[in-house]
Amino acid sequence: MRRTVEPEILDHLSSEDPTAIASRRDLRRLNRIMGHASIITRAVRDRFPTLLSPGQPLKIAELGGGDGTLLLRLARRWSSMGIEANVQLIDRNDLLSSETLRGFSDLGWIVETKSEEVVRWMGESDDGFDLIFANLFLHHFDPSGIRSIFDSAVRRTRAFVACEPHRDPFALCASRLVGLIGCNHVTRND
């Protein structure tokens, strides 16, 4: 299928807008339904098995981390394996709630948010990470933006994992049906 990049409505709404709040709730539900925490865990375990071994705290960055709830689900899974981490959520908006922050703190994970454009952050920061991952995020970029992110990732991390929509007729049809599980008009459009 031919890929086209279009602006998403959610990217242009205030973080306090009720439809934006509802859309982020939809995204949390879709992440659970599609099993993204399991997919990311499996990808890290299968491709980078030493990362999920207890030892020194990992340095992790999530690109387009949003409200941090997916990373918290990963933290809960991984902390049960003895993994500790210092994490950065990179997103243009700081959406981390005190409840989510407390969830990380309860696990002993240290969280920092960076309210920046990801391409700029990837290109300007020299911080190194054990793992950088993105979930439902890279599809926002044209090929040159993705190339820029990948070029920066090569020098910034030992492991890069992305979980993106599958592109085939079935996935396209399923994306048109998210309203049946209660997703709002913003989520359905985006």
Alpha carbon distance 59, 67 (integer Å): 19
Please work out, in degrees rounded to the nearest 5, the angle formed at the alpha carbon of residue 185 by the alpha carbons of 184 and 190. Answer: 105
Please work out, in degrees rounded to the nearest 5, the angle formed at the alpha carbon of residue 97 by the alpha carbons of 159 and 26. Answer: 75
Tokens of 176: 């048109």
What SS3 state is found at 105? helix
| 164 phi and psi angles, rounded to 5 deg | -130, 160
State the average pLDDT for the chain: 93
Query: What's the pTM value of the predicted model, to 2 decimals?
Result: 0.91
Q: Are strands 85-91 and 58-63 parallel, antiparallel or unpaired?
A: parallel
pLDDT band at 167 (very low <50, low <70, confident <90, very high): confident
Share of the chain residues as helix, strand and coil, in percent rounded to the nearest 5? 50, 15, 30
Alpha carbon distance 90, 114 (integer Å): 5
Q: Are 70 and 38 in contact (CB under 8 A)?
A: no
Sequence-ordered list of residues with C-beta below 8 angstroms from that of 11, at least 6 positions apart, any chain: 92, 140
What's the pLDDT score for residue 166?
81
Exposed / middle / buried, residue 140 (Cβ in 10 Å: 0-12, 13-18, 19+) = middle
What's the pLDDT score for residue 1?
61
List pLDDT tens digits, range 79-123: 999 999 999 999 999 999 999 999 999 999 999 999 999 999 998
| 91 phi and psi angles, rounded to 5 deg | -160, 155
